[in-house]
Structure 1
Amino acid sequence: MKDVIIRPEQCMGCRSCEVACAVSHSKSKNLFLAPGEEPAPKKRIHVEYMPALGASVPITCRHCEDAPCVSVCPTKALSKDVDTGAVNHNVERCVDCWACSMVCTRFSSLYQLLLVSGCWTSSMSYNRGIIDRRIEGGTVIRCDLCENRELPACVEACPTHALLFLEVERQPETNALNSS
């Protein structure tokens, strides 16, 4: 399955990915017209600067192989596409319970690193907009890997190649506390 690979060491925090994502999800698909649209288009990627690390980190859904958001969804609004591996969102089924947001593990390994290095901040106690509580069309918004594009807009717009769209082989997630 193809996935957006994040290389924080390459990120300069320019937020080009955020702008490209919002424009890609706008009605006009035009950089100059999108900001004036009602409702304003929403981004599905967020760049967070972490001062203790001295780095910016682009954060977006990783479309987990065994996605906990899919298994916890009571209405089956989230589903896994068996062909592409993407986690899809059915707006008509979503009841905005936010259970998906509470179980998202996107950066559990990054958070473990931050805890070890002493960089944890209170702003990291939620999923950083991976499944966003800002609503669009009456429901949650989340990364759809720009389903109507060959390359996600965020990847295409990144001037430093901090974001790549590559075929990845999923490794089973391990619990660091249980490995002895």
Structure 2
Amino acid sequence: MKRVYVNEKWCLGCHLCEYNCAFANSGCDDMVKALKNITINPRIRIEEKGNVSFAVSCRHCDEPLCVKGCITGALTVDQDGVITINQDKCVGCFTCILSCPYGAIMPSSTGHAIQKCELCINNAGGEPACVKGCPNRAIVFEERSEEA
């Protein structure tokens, strides 16, 4: 399965992945109209430790603890291995947030209980918006072997 991978050696900490993610999930056609004068709440975020920057997003685990911990079945793994959210089933218990070992699930600011990366399957098609918008190619969308 193709997943988003980050090479922290190449990450500039520019946060463009966050802006591209927020725009891709905004439902708008114009980035300026979608993001101007708002606090963005992307499904990927940049963490900075010392002089190292890296992006944190859902890893679409082979054995996802978030899905196992979801009490309503709102989180599921689709046939392609992408972990998706059914917002109609989510009751906002946040068990998935507590279960994720990577901190990749977060509360939503859009009226839904939670949000996480779904690889832009519902909006961008093909390559995720964070990957497309990374100026340094620090974020890639590729399939890797288990040993990588």
Query: TM-score, normalised on structure 2?
Result: 0.90
**In the alignment, what sits opposite 1:145?**
119
Q: CA separation in 2, counterparts of 1:27 and 1:41?
A: 13
Say if 1:48 and 1:57, in contact at 8 Å, map to a contact too: yes
Q: CA separation in 2, counterparts of 1:133 and 1:60?
A: 14
Deviation at 1:133, TM superposition (A): 1.8
Indicate the structure with greater helix content: 1
Q: CA separation in 1, counterparts of 2:145 and 2:64?
A: 15
Deviations 1:3-60 (A, max 9, x none): 00111110010111000000101121321110259x8763111001111xx2101110
Q: CA separation in 2, counterparts of 1:77 and 1:146?
A: 18
- Give the ranges of 4+ consecutive aligned residues of structure 1 lying more than 4 Å apart after TM superposition: none
Q: Please state whether the residue corresponding to 1:168 is helix, strand or coil.
A: coil
Question: Which of the numbers 57, 62, 67 marks the counterpart of 1:65?
Answer: 62
Deviation at 1:104, TM superposition (A): 0.6
Deviations 1:72-96 (A, max 9, x none): 10100000012x1100100000000
Q: Letter of the 2:82 partner, please give it.
A: A
Deviations 1:108-128 (A, max 9, x none): xxxxxxxxxxxxxxxxxxx2x
Say if 2:128 and 2:141, in contact at 8 Å, map to a contact too: yes
Would you say how many aligned residue pairs link Structure 1 and Structure 2?
A: 145
Aligned CA RMSD, in angstroms, stands at 1.8
Q: How does 1:100-115 map to 2 (within 5 A)?
A: 100-106=96-102
**In the alignment, what sits opposite 1:99?**
95
Q: Letter of the 1:166 partner, please give it.
A: E
Q: Please state whether the residue corresponding to 2:131 is helix, strand or coil.
A: helix
Q: CA separation in 1, counterparts of 2:52 and 2:40?
A: 27
Say if 1:26 and 1:40, in contact at 8 Å, map to a contact too: no
1:15 aligns with 2:15: yes
Q: CA separation in 2, counterparts of 1:35 and 1:88?
A: 24
**In the alignment, what sits opposite 2:130?**
154
Deviation at 1:167, TM superposition (A): 1.2
Q: CA separation in 2, counterparts of 1:87 and 1:169?
A: 19
Say if 2:19 and 2:40, in contact at 8 Å, map to a contact too: no
Q: CA separation in 1, counterparts of 2:48 and 2:29?
A: 27
Report the structure number with the largest CA radius of gyration: 1
**In the alignment, what sits opposite 2:4?**
4
Structure 1 alignment gaps of length 5 or more: 107-126, 172-180
1:90 aligns with 2:86: yes
Say if 1:3 and 1:165, in contact at 8 Å, map to a contact too: yes
Query: Sequence identity, in percent?
Result: 34
Question: Which of the numbers 81, 105, 117 marks the counterpart of 2:78?
Answer: 81
Q: Letter of the 1:70 partner, please give it.
A: V
Q: CA separation in 2, counterparts of 1:136 and 1:75?
A: 20
